Structures are given as structure tokens and as C-alpha cells.
Chain A
């Protein structure tokens, strides 16, 4: 397969300049692909999919018959991020997560930022993910956002924007690690020639971070991963991370709280647990503290946490900053807590509870992307330019009825990467989810999940909506020379 007939069609392309010339960092990869014998890339694709199915690297599809599993579509053409671009992303993410963390700690303690009027109080108190139960909690090291995975996008001119912060239970990192394993087998010489930064240290960093938040360092931290169970869509990832870290994967029913200590039921009786990497939403974590009908959680867990007997990652309550209205204030938070301008900008956001914004949104629905403030996964969303008149009318009614629940953003012309489509390449829109760990210090995994909208023209990259993934290659800085 060749790139001769490939068109960038006026979008920012991660591989080609607007004139159609390959970007310098993409040259070696493009040559390698064109040098493959006819049909070879498609054979690699088939065999990669076979391997993923055979290895059971699948996700469950909700609403489908019980136990239905699919492989996450995976495109073999990676996205390449040059060293200088990555450097800025990394600094931007560190700055942002540091500010967000301070914000959450402030919200559940003194609320200085509200008292100083930098953010309206009503915005916080009306957020569905705000948890009054978390007031006064003091998580170990004051860290609330241990594992996060912001979504970054690029617009037509190539500038990066933060689209979402995903502070609660971001998933997808296992695909980053598995995609890399597949591509190393397919393009060994490109890896050798390009100095791609490795990603396989992630699980060691994750374990180190989790051990660093153990309540009493002397006792040694017994770490577990808490999963909702095998029918959860991200179950593969939960078991993968537990396996790679060599820790136990537990379900709520394996844990029991007695006298404020958390233990797990083993064949030899109860064994104490110190740190829980929980992959269950706040709502389901503890039926005593949150939703009483939760069967997935552990009774009394929040009490044990409040007493400092067990550490939870991520900290309950941190989702308040995931609310899309509060997201709009993150640049303010960065100025307020860090005294700096944001390195990575937000996507401009219209807040429908402001009268002027709402009027603008209602007048321009066909140009905007409208989102529910507390949804994720591509649900509850209207992509204006791709919508019908009925859909717009439906959203207009929703916006008028519940202005606080909706925000709108301009429709960005997301950047594209060549993607195997039938027997040739076509550009497909992508975003980028880098993963950030926050324990003793802040660590950004060099790479991340590049999600790709597999349907032509589509801007929706979520796996639940037909999205796939690509490997992300972050290049190491060339020693002694300036990066092209």
C-alpha cells in the first residue's frame, strides 16, 4: 500500500504537511510501509487482530447480550509526536494536574477559591459529581488525582487543546501497552531508527505510586485493584494491570471492613489491605456513604478511608473537577493556584446557564458541539454539523429546560492520521489521551492512547461509538542537536 493518492483534504495531518510532503519525523515510517511487499500490511493487520482475539484483549459491549466481547479496533499506522511537541504537552499536563489537585483539596476544605470569587459557588454546589461527604477528607500526601488521562485534541492549525480532564477512572492504558507490543513486532527497524520512547515502565511507576500512598509506610503497603467484575467493559484492563503489577484483583465482595480496617477474604482468613486502586465510580464505592443500592462496593469503606486506615486511588470526590462547566474554569484555577498562564489551553466553552452564552448556543446549534455537563464516553452529545433538524430541536429543548447541564464548544477540525481503510489509506480524525500519575511527584507516560474515529468524517472517537486506537510514538530528543 502506498501514500501516492493520500489527501490531507485541508485538515491538520500528523504525517503530512499541507502541501502533501511527509513531515520529517514521519519519513522513515512512511518509507518502511511503502517498502513492504504488496498485501503485507493487510496480512499484519489480520494477524494482529487474531492475536488480540486469541489473547482475549477485548471489551464488553453494554446493551448487547450478556458476555458479548469485541476486540478494540486497532490501526497499525502509529501517530508520531516529535520531542519538542511532547515536551510542551508534558509541562502543560503537569501544570494542569497540579492546579486541579489544589482545587479539589481547596473545595473540600477552606474553599478559598470560591470565597475569592474566582469561581462562582453555585457552579460547584450544582455539580452532580460534587460529593459533600468528602468535606474534610485528607488523602495521603494531599493527592486526589493519582491517575488521570486528559483528552487532548488539535485544531486545523495544529494547536493542542485540552478537551476533558478525566480525573475519575480513566481507562485505556492497557491498550497503549498492548498496541506497542504488536507494533514492535511489525516495525522493529523503525523503532531502532527513530528512538521511540518506551512505555513499558508504566506498570512499575503505577505500583510505585500506589505503594507511596500507603497509610503507614512501615507496615508495607498491600496494594489491590478493585474491579466491578468480569462484565465491566474495562475488565480486561483491570486484570491486566493487576497481573502486570503482581497484585491481587479483588471485587467488592472480596473485601470486608471491620473495626475500620479493610481486609480481604482469603483461604486462610482475613488479610489486611492498605491501598486500593479502585476502578469503580464514587457512586458505587460504599453503599453506606453513596448509593445504598450498590452491590459492587464495600460497606464502611469511606469510614475506613476517613480514618486513614486505607488509601484510595483515585480519591473519592475528585470527579467534581470533571464536570464540564467546572472544566471551563480550569484556566482560572491555574492562574489562581499556580500564578501562571496555562501552557495548554482549553477549548473555548459556552456555559448554557449564562444567558448570553445560552442565546448564542441556541442560535448556532448547527456549528457547535453540545455536551451534557456530567456525561462521558460520547454519550449525551450533539455534533451540530452532523446533526438533523430534529436532533437540534431536541437539544434546544433540553438546553432550555436544564441550562446548568449543558455546555457547547465550537466544532474543531480534529487532526488526522492516515488509517488503513479497505485496501488503501485515508485520513481519520484522532485525539490523544496521555496518562499522568501523581504520587510523590508527577509522572507523564511518554505516549498515550491515540483514539481514532474509524468512520469517514466522524469526530467521535469513543470505543463505545465505533472508535479504534493507534499506537502513539513519542520521540526522544536528539542529543546535541536541535529537533527539526
Chain B
């Protein structure tokens, strides 16, 4: 048998894609929370609630308010880090990533499986009792565990079709998370016109950058902390790996590697939609985006990414007529 030509099961493609998305999601949530813990230490009097926006970036505002009512630090941390009923909590994401990994152990490398398993053991083992003082260390180990998984994936697994699905999932998830934090923070920060140019404003915007590990790279590229330039950087930079444009471009490359069709062409609807989004971002400029409204732009972006996700599902994961006995 020729291993290079081994086809990829639709179920396996689905699982590795979601394994990858969940790991990326857990890492993002851990980073948002870590940054916010730090930010709270520098908060100006009167600025008490930076926690609600963090919930909003997760897209689960309604579920949160229904269960917890108030966005206190404790409630938000419990909801986003540990709550097993919240499907997007760090614990739930890692559990889901592991469950997916477990169903494809023969496809991924042993090292990848061991890493996702030890991340899971970190969360479910004795480590579950995380006191308030341990939180920064806890978030850090989650982030590092996720980074390690990404590195191990790059270094131990053949860059085959399954690997491209892993890359596709990660890139789409990353683009989604960066666009969400930008949307929420821009909305929260802009009304405070009275703070513009104050040290507090600087801290807030720096925190947005840090939320996507972008502070240092932004400084090198643009220097001064300016809201419009930050939007440009997070949305349209083509070198920063968490910028939306960079992520979408990598998703596009992964998809082309999967289908084998040439760049700039498409062979299925997911490829068409992703290519359209990619070129839109390639030729966009931040001035017109802000003029037309950033929120409207980001809203459109979210819709397009959701459609792409649905197309990926239809194009690759539910192949062949659904005629199996399994319901």
C-alpha cells in the first residue's frame, strides 16, 4: 500500500479540524483572562467592570447572564475557565480537543496525543483546585501547553492532508478570536473620549494588543499606540500571525493544499468563499473600514467566516449520502 496516497476519512478530517480549533480556542481564552487579570491591577478608579467584555468576546453573553447574573471577576473566571456546562470554557475546550484527538490517535503522532492528554490531566487531575493566587500560573500553563501542542504538531506529524485540516482549523479559529476581541474592545474603548491620550487609554489599548500577544510586534512595526493603527495591525497585517488577514491567508493556503487546486482558483464552495474573503482583506485599507464602521465590517467578517465553516463541513465532512444506519 502506498501511504502517501492514503485517503483521509471524513470523520477523521472533522475530528482533527475540531481538535485544532478547540486547542486554539482554549489558548485564546486563557490569554484573554491572563491579560485581564493584569489589567485589573492598573485599572483607574471607576473602571470596575472589565470582565463583562471578556464574556462578550466569547459570544456567550446571554448564557452567562442567565446563569451568573453579574460579571464579577470570580464569576467570569469560573464561567470561562472551569464551567463544564459552558462548551467554550477552557476545561470544556481541552476536554473536547482530547476527545477528538482520542478518536484519531492513529492519525496524529503519539507525541501530539500525549501532549493533549497531559493538558487534559493538568485540568482534570489534582490541578483542578486553582486558588486565586495560582490563576496567573494556571493560565500560563494552559497557554504554554497549547503552544507546545502546536509546535509538536508542526514538528512530529507529516504535513499531509490531515495536517492541513489542523492548520485550517487553527487559522480560522484564530481569525475569529482576533476579530471578536477587536470588536468588543473597540466598542468599549471608543466611547471614553475623555480618556483619549491619557495613560489609562494607553494601558487599555496595550492590553488589547497583549490579548493577542501583539504588543511587542506592534511596537516594532508602528511604535505609537494609536487606535486606528492598532486596528490596521490586528486586521490587515500580513506578517503578524494573529492578524485576521494573516490567518485567513494561511487558511486559504491550507485549503488549496487539501484540494490540490491552484492558488487563485477554486474547486468547491468553501474554497470560493475563503478566496473571496482573502482577496477582500488583501486589498482593504483601514481608512475606509473605519469610515464605514468597524463594527459593521467585523460583523460581516464573522458572517463570512461562519459560512466558510459551514461550507467546509459540507464539502469535506459529510461526504457521500447520509445513508448509514448510525443516526
Contact = CB atoms under 8 A, between A and B. Distances in A.
A287 interface: yes
Given A56-B114, A287-B325, A295-B326, A267 B106 contact: no
B320 A256 contact: yes
Contacts of A79: none
A374 B305 CA distance: 55
Contact of A299 (B13, B107, B317, B325): B325
Given A54-B114, A54-B118, A295-B325, A267 B161 contact: yes
Contact of A252 (B6, B104, B113, B326): B326
B117 A54 contact: yes
Nearest to A238: B106
B16 to A, nearest CB: 11
B83 interface: no
A239 B325 contact: no
Contact of A239 (B10, B11, B106, B319): B106
B110 A248 contact: no
Interface size class of A (residues with CB under 8 A): 35 or more
Given A56-B117, A264-B9, A253 B316 contact: no
Interface in A242-277: 242-243, 246-256, 264-271
A249 B106 CA distance: 7
B11 A271 contact: no
Contact of A267 (B3, B10, B118): B10
A256 B121 contact: no
Given A252-B324, A297-B325, A266 B9 contact: yes
B11 A55 contact: no
B117 A55 contact: yes
B94 to A, nearest CB: 13
B114 to A, nearest CB: 6
B7 interface: yes
A265 B11 contact: yes
Given A55-B110, A56-B117, A256-B320, A267 B103 contact: no
B320 A270 contact: yes
B325 A254 contact: no
A256 B11 CA distance: 13
B316 A267 contact: yes
A292 to B, nearest CB: 9
Interface in B12-42: 12-13
B320 A269 contact: yes
Nearest to B323: A256
Contact of B7 (A239, A268, A287, A299): A268
Interface in A270-328: 270-271, 287, 294-299
A235 B13 CA distance: 19
A33 to B, nearest CB: 29
Interface string B108-134: 001001100110010000000000000
Contact of B319 (A55, A246, A250, A266): A266
A267 B161 CA distance: 9
Nearest to B103: A230
Nearest to B10: A265
Interface string B96-110: 000100111111001
Contacts of B44: none
B191 interface: no
Interface string A226-246: 000110000100011011001
Contacts of A235: 102
Contacts of B105: 56, 239-240, 243, 249
A294 B103 contact: no
Contacts of B117: 54-56
Interface string A60-95: 000000010000000000000000000000000000
A250 B9 contact: yes
A229 B103 contact: yes
A53 interface: yes
B62 interface: no
A230 B9 contact: no
Given A239-B106, A269-B319, 9 more contacts: A54-B114, A230-B99, A247-B1, A248-B6, A254-B11, A265-B10, A266-B8, A267-B8, A271-B7
Interface of B: 1, 3, 6-13, 99, 102-107, 110, 113-114, 117-118, 121, 161, 258, 316-317, 319-320, 323-327
Q: Which 10 pairs between the two chains have the least Cβ-Cβ distance? A: A243-B106, A266-B7, A253-B326, A242-B106, A239-B105, A267-B316, A271-B7, A56-B117, A249-B106, A253-B324
18 contacts: A54-B114, A56-B113, A56-B117, A230-B102, A239-B102, A249-B106, A251-B326, A252-B325, A254-B9, A254-B11, A265-B11, A265-B319, A266-B10, A267-B316, A268-B8, A268-B319, A270-B319, A298-B325
